[in-house]
Amino acid sequence: MVPEGVIQFEAEHERRALESRRYDELACELIAWREIMALTGLVGQDPSRYGGAGYGNVSVRVGPRGASIGRRSFLVTGSQTSGQRSIGLDDFAVVERYDGAANRVWSHGPALPSSESLTHAAAYDASPIVRCVLHAHSPVLWRRRRALRLPETDPAAANGTPAMASEVSRLYRETVFSERRILALGGHEDGILVIGGTAEEAGGVLLRWLARAYREACGDRDSCAAP
Ligand SMILES: [Zn+2]
């Protein structure tokens, strides 16, 4: 399994500030949902999980809907920012283009793009309708992925690799992912990916499935009564 938080791709990154006039509104919408993810433990950093590495990251498309595959630019949280309780525009990068097969990303911004940027890119390449990707780590949801019949990527496909990108597009084409807008990353412990046309839509999908997982967990116990 690829360790959490380690950049697997080659980043051609230009370190410069992001124009607040252009990105503030999108970043704020994303930060609001990331805040909810942090409060529910879907994003964060915990010494007892994944060897202490931060987990979870979020992105939103920028630029025109008609952009071609490999050029669907997106604003994404920076590498090593998952553990920060709150973030601002300085903790983001814009991935301008990417090449999953060559394991390459071209980006700019004050932060380096998330180590899982190529998994986000694969979801954007799956369809121009996808405008937001939230990557959460949820033990309760991931462990019940089969009971909840979530689409699941091949466990042999490590996160951020070309194999993972092709798994994401396969599940989208087979419509299980496009309809449910959620999948479990089989080879990435606790990894969940949700998509939406907006951050609000993706956030709503994530919270609904989280509630379903807790409902399942409740049914696993002998009694529904609080312990
Ligand atoms: Zn992850």
Q: Ligand 1 mean position to 19 CA, how many Å?
A: 28
Distance 137 CA to ligand 1 centre (A): 6
Centre of ligand 1 from the C-alpha of residue 54, in Å: 9
What is residue 1's predicted lDDT score, i.e. its pLDDT? Answer: 45
Which residues in the chain come in under a pLDDT of 70? 1-8, 225-227
Question: What was the pLDDT predicted at 162?
Answer: 83
Gap from CA of 161 to ligand 1 centroid (Å): 12
Ligand 1 mean position, distance from CA 150 (Å): 17
- What torsion, rounded to 10 degrees, do the Cα atoms 156, 192, 179, 214 define? 120
Q: What is the pLDDT of residue 225?
A: 66
The angle subtended at Cα 37 by Cα 34 and Cα 39, nearest 5°, is 110
Q: Quote the pTM value.
A: 0.94
CA 145 to centroid of ligand 1, rounded, Å: 16
User: For residues 115 and 152, is the Cβ–Cβ distance under 8 A?
Assistant: no
The two structure tokens encoding residue 185: 């990353």
Q: 189: burial class by Cβ within 10 Å (0-12, 13-18, 19+)?
A: middle
Residues with CB under 5 A from ligand 1 (ion): 191
How many angstroms separate the alpha carbon of residue 138 from the centre of ligand 1?
A: 10
Which of these, 106, 89, 88, lies nearest to 97 by C-alpha position?
106
136 CA → ligand 1 middle, Å: 7
End-to-end C-alpha distance for the chain, whole angstroms: 35
